[in-house]
Amino acid sequence: MNVVETCGKETLLIPGTSVQRSFSSIDEEVVGFEKDAESIMQKLTRGTKKLDVISIFGMPGIGKTTLARKVYNIPSIVNHFDIKVWCSVSQEYDRRTLLGEILKQTTRKSEIIEADDRPDMLRRSLIGKRYLIVLDDIWDVKAWEDLDLCFPKGENGSRVMVTTRIEQVAKHLQHHSNPYPLRFLTRAESWELLLKKVF
């Protein structure tokens, strides 16, 4: 199984764009998301064989991206999907650049592809594969509508995982799974995280 991974220790910002390639930090502390991670993992690996969108929503800074990264890098998830892609979308994004970044991670090719060819090439590169596409920090349903047709609707259990701070966006993107609201850390979990950060 060929897995396209984006694991490392840094975030690469492509100059002049809002697209970032996000890399999970090995040193990043994760506290209080064990049950949440298990729930998201089940949504990614079980349930419908049709394409599904798993939306995680909640207030800014609550840990949506941290949870998504944690799940994205779990070995069983890495081994479950043929192709994995992580892209940050943000409030202002460029469709052409976003498509190019997803395509580059999907095909592992660095050459420049004509903008008009990107949607078709992305679709062809994903057909027949079980893929996981993470779209981090979506603000507007238009970002999804710009990409939706590029994702094949096969019966092999492919998933798109989305993080957003806007509940209405999460609900609009719903396919089979209900949007996942992320809770605040408990006082004990917050204290544990603080101790790990400090010491």
User: Does residue 114 lie in a domain region?
Assistant: yes
pLDDT tens-digit map of 105-125 = 998 776 666 667 888 889 999
pTM to 2 decimal places: 0.76
Look up the CATH number of the domain holding residue 128: 3.40.50.300
User: Does residue 186 lie in a domain region?
Assistant: yes
- What is the 8-class DSSP label of residue 186? P
Q: Answer positive or negative: Cα dihedral of 108, 110, 113, 115.
A: positive
User: Does residue 6 lie in a domain region?
Assistant: no
Coil, strand or helix at 85: strand
pLDDT tens-digit map of 24-46 = 333 345 545 788 899 999 999 99
User: Does residue 51 lie in a domain region?
Assistant: yes
User: Does residue 28 lie in a domain region?
Assistant: yes
User: Does residue 4 lie in a domain region?
Assistant: no
Strands (E), the chain: 12-13, 20-21, 52-57, 83-88, 131-136, 159-164, 180-181
Residues forming beta bridges with residue 159, ordered by sequence position? 52, 132
Q: How many domains does the chain have?
A: 1
User: Does residue 7 lie in a domain region?
Assistant: no
pLDDT tens-digit map of 150-172 = 999 889 999 999 999 999 999 99
Range of the domain at 114: 12-198
User: Does residue 160 lie in a domain region?
Assistant: yes
